[in-house]
């Protein structure tokens, strides 16, 4: 269970994975590729318990004690367990589908008598790489036959190595040279091992000080914003620089280009550090001060022409306190008591991307970031929104920030709101373009818009702009200005504006009797023409009579609203304008004569009824050579009404044409 005191933007996962702590009889190993913890009792003879995110209850088995275990890892499909007990070979145990062990072990030695295995990694389901002092050996394993076949070898002198597993294989980084600062990336895919260009990590030092070699513990590989980076923790300061730095080298997409130094994160502290990457944020833990800081390389940084320099997003703060319920014995029996975990403990071991393990306590946590506390810690709203847009599951926080920007006492200036909505709509536009491209290519895949949170018009209308209608304390001019600014931002990006935004503006203007401004917005097309908008304008005729004509003009401009225009004119008993409209629109032959005759009869104006009746008689003659209405038109009652008013002789058509 976790406590809730204080403001913290970093916390540990509420339900850690618990395992048997390290002791005289129990060794603990971690496989970062599968995120599994192995608790090995007495070399395995008293049992091995494996726990991870997908198997929190644990996989339990026994194996023969053949000596001290150096490392152990499951294959990606968990069908083969690899165990290293010596520097010369790796043993293997097959597992059945029910995760029970299969008969005896088999092994593979490395090449060369003087060679030693420094470690191993699973590069694929049935492929494993040995990292030795003199190179890399890639093997294909056949579990059924219990044999390994050498696929490829790479001869290179290796000081240490770092591995990052990926869905399609993985990236191995090996250090060479006297100072271990010549780094050789090797990329693995199914059955293949590819050398990427080697690069050198600069090791700056102060005058009269000897350069220290690059240590394995100060190097890690991580994915940040979908790009692979080599992260180097540089303890020795450069001249004129106080404290340690974190240097990021980006693995280039072009395989012939070496990794490039792109970012330098300024820690301005010294001591022991550990690094996680959480939601594309570089999280640096500092043991001495018991605080953590976060860096976002997508926020603006200073550049020297070669790399960008970044400072922490906010000030350092400790991880949120964490309490465990641990069993304890008393007179009544076993109970549980709260235990305050020692944060930033010397027993902590950090793995990528977001793992913290305390082997003595028997806990594995995921490091998590909290967004809500950061809202008050980053006062610059544009910087805050830019930061939040890059975070996962941040939509509700972004919408809440946007809403707060409109409230009295917290209102942001209009230029700030303008920049914020531009950021929101740029991401919205990118998503729409990607979606259209996917549809055009007939692809079943979802638009690949990396990580961005999409805030669309519906989100803004429902969660943000609703406050403009509900809160009477907000000046109406500010309300209108905000909505116009949002519409401007959409229009600049060719995003069709939804009619409910226009309706909101109109309702605000009408509520404040700003009819002149409304008239101008419509006249100068600040509010784009649409059928829903025209219908809304028609409903305002009682409070603003010109709205009727404005609506008709809008429907006419749309050129797709003939039916709506006819309905409006007939409902207002404006039959002659309706007749003129259908003639001008060239739809005389297709409109319903019954609808017009019914409207004319309802006016109780006999002369108007006569005119409309004769108009449609002439249409019948022109179309069919006869003045008679067809049975399907259902005009019998109107013919009878005409006879009653003007006599049967008047049914004879006029000689002039319409």
**pLDDT tens for residues 8-62?**
999 999 999 999 999 998 999 999 888 899 999 988 888 899 998 877 677 888 8
Average pLDDT, the chain: 87
Looking at the chain, the whole-number percentage of residues with pLDDT higher than 70 is 92
Whole-angstrom distance, CA of residue 608 vs CA of residue 273: 91
Stronger pLDDT, 344 or 334, i.e. the higher one:
344
Whole-angstrom distance, CA of residue 651 vs CA of residue 658: 16
pLDDT class of 442 with cuts at 50, 70, 90: low
pLDDT of 247 reads: 95
| pLDDT tens-digit series, residues 271-327 | 899 999 999 999 999 999 999 999 999 998 888 888 999 999 999 999 999 988 776
pLDDT of 399 reads: 96
Question: Nearest Cα to 165, choosing from 219, 120, 99?
Answer: 120
Q: How far is CA 105 from CA 39, 93, 347, 518, 597, in A?
A: 19, 5, 33, 83, 96
Whole-number CA gyration radius for the chain: 38
In sequence order, the β-bridge partners of residue 71 are: 84
| pLDDT tens-digit series, residues 407-433 | 998 899 999 999 999 999 999 999 888
pLDDT class of 511 with cuts at 50, 70, 90: confident
pLDDT of 98 reads: 67
Stronger pLDDT, 144 or 584, i.e. the higher one:
144
- How far does Cα 125 stand from its chain's mean position? 30
Domain boundaries, the chain: 562-658
* Cα-based torsion angle of the residue sequence 412, 413, 419, 420 in order, rounded to the nearest 10 degrees: 10
Looking at the chain, the whole-number percentage of residues with pLDDT higher than 90 is 50
For residue 656, pLDDT beyond 60: no
| pLDDT tens-digit series, residues 103-139 | 678 999 999 888 999 999 999 999 999 999 999 999 9
> What's the pTM?
0.82
Q: 546-580: string of b/e by CB count within 10 Å (b at 16+)?
A: ebbebbbebbbebeebbebbbbbbbeeebbeebbe
Stronger pLDDT, 115 or 334, i.e. the higher one:
115
For residue 80, pLDDT beyond 70: yes
Q: Is 225 left (phi over 0), alpha (psi -120 to 50) or beta?
A: left
| pLDDT tens-digit series, residues 227-249 | 999 999 988 766 666 788 999 99
Stronger pLDDT, 441 or 376, i.e. the higher one:
376
pLDDT of 246 reads: 95
Locus of tokens 């350092």: 316
The token pair at 57 is: 């209850």
pLDDT of 123 reads: 94
pLDDT class of 634 with cuts at 50, 70, 90: confident
| pLDDT tens-digit series, residues 337-375 | 778 889 999 999 999 999 999 999 999 999 999 999 999
- Cβ neighbours for 22, distance < 8 A, ≥ 6 positions apart: 28, 359, 360, 362
Whole-angstrom distance, CA of residue 30 vs CA of residue 36: 6
Whole-angstrom distance, CA of residue 419 vs CA of residue 204: 40
Q: Once rounded to an integer, what is the mean pLDDT over residues 446-471?
A: 81
Stronger pLDDT, 501 or 56, i.e. the higher one:
501
**In terms of residues, how long is the chain?**
658
- Cβ neighbours for 390, distance < 8 A, ≥ 6 positions apart: 225, 280, 296, 298, 451, 452
Q: Determine the 3-state secondary structure of 309 from DSSP.
A: strand
Locus of tokens 């536009």: 429
Whole-angstrom distance, CA of residue 587 vs CA of residue 594: 15
Whole-angstrom distance, CA of residue 276 vs CA of residue 284: 7
99-108, 435-444, 459-468, 643-652: which range is least confident on average?
435-444
């Amino acid at each position: 269970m976790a406590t809730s005191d204080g403001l913290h933007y970093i916390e540990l996962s509420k339900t850690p994975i618990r395992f048997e702590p390290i002791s005289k009889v129990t060794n603990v190993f971690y496989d970062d590729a599968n995120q599994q913890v192995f608790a090995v009792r007495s070399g395995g003879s008293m049992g091995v318990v494996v726990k991870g995110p997908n198997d929190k209850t644990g996989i339990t088995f026994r194996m023969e004690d053949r000596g001290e275990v150096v490392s152990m890892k499951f294959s990606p499909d968990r069908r083969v367990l690899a165990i290293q007990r010596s520097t010369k070979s790796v043993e293997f145990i097959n597992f059945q589908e029910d995760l029970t062990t299969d008969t005896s072990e088999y092994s593979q030695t490395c090449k060369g008598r003087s060679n030693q295995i420094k470690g191993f990694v699973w590069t694929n389901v049935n492929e494993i790489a040995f990292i030795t002092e003199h190179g890399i050996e890639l093997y294909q394993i056949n579990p059924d036959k219990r044999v390994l076949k050498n696929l490829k070898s790479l001869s290179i002198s290796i000081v240490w190595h770092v591995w990052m597993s990926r869905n399609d294989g993985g990236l191995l980084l090996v250090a060479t040279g006297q100072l271990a600062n010549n780094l050789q990336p090797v990329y693995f895919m199914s059955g293949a091992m590819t050398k990427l260009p080697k690069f050198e990590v600069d090791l700056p030092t102060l005058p009269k000080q000897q350069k220290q070699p690059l240590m394995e513990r100060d190097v890690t590989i991580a994915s940040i914003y979908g790009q692979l980076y080599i992260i180097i923790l540089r303890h020795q300061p450069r001249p004129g620089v106080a404290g340690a730095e974190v240097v990021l080298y980006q693995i280039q997409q072009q395989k012939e280009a070496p990794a490039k130094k792109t970012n330098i994160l300024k820690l301005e502290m010294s001591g022991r550090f550990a690094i996680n990457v959480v939601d594309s944020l570089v999280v640096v833990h500092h043991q001495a001060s018991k605080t953590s800081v976060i860096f976002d390389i997508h926020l603006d940084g200073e550049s020297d022409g070669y790399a960008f320099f970044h400072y922490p997003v906010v000030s350092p703060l400790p991880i949120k306190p964490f309490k465990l319920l641990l069993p304890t014995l008393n007179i009544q029996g076993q109970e549980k008591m709260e235990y305050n975990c020692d944060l930033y403990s010397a027993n902590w071991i950090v793995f990528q991307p977001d793992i913290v393990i305390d082997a003595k306590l028997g806990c594995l946590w995921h490091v998590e970031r909290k967004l809500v506390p950061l809202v008050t810690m980053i006062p610059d709203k544009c910087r805050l929104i830019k930061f939040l847009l890059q975070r996962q599951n941040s939509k509700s926080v972004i919408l809440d920030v946007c809403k707060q920007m409109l409230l009295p006492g917290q209102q942001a200036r209009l230029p700030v709101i303008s920049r914020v909505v531009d950021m929101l709509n740029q991401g919205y536009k990118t998503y729409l373009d990607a979606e259209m491209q996917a549809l055009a290519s007939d692809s079943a895949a979802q638009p690949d818009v990396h990580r961005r949170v999409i805030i669309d018009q519906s989100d803004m209308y429902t969660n943000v702009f609703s406050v403009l209608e509900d809160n009477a304390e907000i000046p109406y001019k500010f309300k209108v200005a905000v909505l116009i600014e949002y519409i401007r931002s959409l229009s600049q990006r060719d995003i069709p504006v939804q009619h409910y935004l226009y309706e909101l503006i109109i309702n605000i203007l009408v509520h404040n009797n700003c009819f002149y401004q409304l008239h101008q917005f419509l006249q100068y097309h600040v509010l784009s023409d649409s059928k829903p908008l025209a219908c809304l304008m028609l409903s305002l005729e009682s409070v603003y009579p010109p709205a009727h004509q404005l609506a008709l003009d809008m429907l006419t401009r749309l050129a797709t609203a003939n039916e709506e225009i006819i309905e409006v004119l007939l409902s207002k008993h404006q039959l002659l304008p309706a007749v003129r409209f259908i003639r001008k629109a060239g739809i005389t032959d297709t409109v319903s004569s019954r609808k017009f005759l019914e409207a004319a009869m309802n006016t109780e104006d006999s002369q108007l009824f006569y005119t409309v009746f004769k108009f449609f008689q002439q249409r019948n003659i022109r179309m069919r050579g006869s003045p008679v209405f067809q049975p399907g038109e259902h005009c019998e009652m109107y013919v009878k009404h005409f006879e009653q008013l003007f006599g049967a002789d008047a049914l004879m058509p006029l000689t002039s044409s319409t």
